[in-house]
Structure formats: C-alpha cells, structure tokens
Amino acid sequence: MAFLGVQGLMPRDLREVSDATISRIRELGFAGAACRYHDPLSATRADATRLREMMRAGGVAPCQAVARHPDLVSPDPRRRALGIESMQYMCKVTRWLGAGNLYVRPGSLNPEGSWYPHPDNFRPETFDALVDSLKQVCIAAESEGVMLAVEGHALSILNTPERIRDLIAAVGSDTLRFNADPVNFVGSLADAYDTTAMINRLFDALGEYTICGHAKDFVVQDRLVLHIEEAVIGEGLLDQAAYLRRFEEACPDGYVQIEHLPEERIPQARRSLYNTGVEAGITWREPT
C-alpha cells in the first residue's frame, strides 16, 4: 500500500509555498511532495515549521527533503567540507520539517555536474571519500533522528546496486538507506531491453534498505552511439509494474515520487503510474 508523491509542483523558494500550492498538489492526487532547499544553510526552523504545518493542514506529507550542496566527494577540501556541513545542517531541517527522509546525492568528480561521468569516479579513493563524508553526515542524522536515502546512477560513483550495498556496509549506520530509482541504473542495451531483470537485481541487492523511490521512464534513441533519454511514464521501456511490485514488497509504507517532468506533464505521468499500479495489484494509499 504505497503512496504517490511528487518531486515538483513546489516553488523554488519554499517560503513562497501557499495553501493554494498544497491544495493543487492534493487535487492532482498526490499524498506527498518533496521539499527542495536550494540554499540549505539559510533555512530556518521557523520557515521549516511553517511549511510543515501548512502541508499537514493541507493533507500532503513532506515525503522527502532535498538539498543543493557541494559534492561530498569534491576534490576541493573546502567545498567538500561545505557539502558535509550543509548535509549535517539539513538533518536538523529534515527534523524540523518532519520529512520522511533526507535525500543523499553521491556526486561526481566532473566539475560540470554531480550526475556527469568522470574516469576517476570509480577509483577506490573516491569511494573512500564518500564513505568518510557520509560517516560524518550520519552522526548528525543519528543525533537528529532522521533517515538518509542515498541514490545511485550509472554515471555516478554509485553505478551498481552492489556498490551501493558496499557503501551502506562501509558507512555502518542504521540511518543510511536507499532511494530506489531503476531508470538511473540503465547503463546498457542489455539493461534497456530487459528492465525486469535489472529491477529484480536492484531489489535483490537493496530491497531491505529501500525507504523511498523515484519514478520516471526512458527511451533508447535511434542514434549511432548509445543514447538513453528520460520520458514520460508510460511512454518508455521501463517495466513499471515490476518496479511497483518490488517496491511495495520492500517498502509498503513508502512514497514513489514522480520526478523530472515539467508541471504540465505531471498529471499524465500520475495517471499512467497510478493505473499501472492498480493493474499490477497495488493498493495505493490515498491522500488523507
């Protein structure tokens, strides 16, 4: 009995969230919405409390807190330290907000973006840096009583389910768990054309650690080298029914959050995901 959530439909500045914002999210059929902080160290307890109470009154849960921050593996010691400080502070914000978890972006050594490839992303030293950073963040998470949800990607440091499992074991904190997003692990045509097997591998390795998830879709483009592009849910290749079944087995009280879509495409994606879930035997929990 999973919940439907959304990454989107919120203003960039969360201080601008209004009752109308929350009403619209609920009217579109979402039980939860992610709260993204673009300047995490400027967030205040008063602002987080205001948002929590507004969302509670409107019947929409803050299902995930998200923050923009310097990467936890940055080769610049000052930026890496700022990333750690930002995430430690976000543990407080997550508690003030009452969010279900705090999202963890593993990062990249590519200076152009946290989700872009770099040949040194897979070096042992990079993995060790992430472990060290997360151990420091987990101390704050344990103190604040919040859960962390780390995500992976074929282009990131955490490019396989097994590598994420190794990370969780190396960090050694019960606060560090997994944010499921199968599309992120499509790294080959073998994965793209047999997403059911890829999804099963993902949950076989990480199902016991899964506390939330993201939902999207993808297509393989007709181009001369491999090009995989995200798509609206229902228009791509991902076996959404398999994903939802495995997610519910692993995390029956969790939120599956639609993401990476312009606002005008979100209702279409929501209908497709909701209907696929019903056909797959999923009993969605409705907004309360």
Q: In the prediction, which pLDDT does 225 show?
A: 87
**CA dist., res. 270 & res. 193, Å (int):** 24
CA angle 177/272/287 to nearest 5° reads 60
Alpha-carbon distance 256 to 250, whole Å? 12
What per-residue confidence (pLDDT) applies to 288? 65
Domain annotation covers residue 285: no
pLDDT by 10s per residue, the chain, length 288: 689 999 999 999 999 999 999 999 999 999 999 999 999 999 999 999 999 999 999 999 999 999 999 999 999 999 999 999 999 999 999 999 999 999 999 999 999 999 999 999 999 999 999 999 999 999 999 999 999 999 999 999 999 999 999 999 999 999 999 999 999 999 999 999 999 999 999 999 999 999 999 999 999 999 988 899 999 999 999 999 999 999 999 999 999 999 999 999 999 999 999 999 999 999 898 766
13 within some domain: yes
Residue 94 inside a domain? The answer is yes
CA nearest to 142, candidates 217, 200, 103, 88 = 88
288 inside domain:
no
CATH of the domain at 67: 3.20.20.150
Q: How many domains, in total, are found in the chain?
A: 1
Residue numbers of the domain that contains 229: 3-279
Residue 287: inside a domain, yes or no?
no
Write the burial class of residue 226 (CB in 10 Å: 0-12 exposed, 13-18 middle, 19+ buried). exposed
Q: Is residue 286 part of a domain?
A: no
In a domain? residue 284: no
Question: Alpha helix (H) ranges present in the chain?
Answer: 19-27, 45-58, 77-97, 124-144, 161-171, 189-192, 195-206, 240-250, 266-279
CA quadruple 66, 69, 75, 81: dihedral sign: negative
Q: Does residue 147 lie within any of the structural domains?
A: yes
pTM of the model: 0.96
Cα–Cα dist 209/255, whole Å: 14
* pLDDT of 122: 94
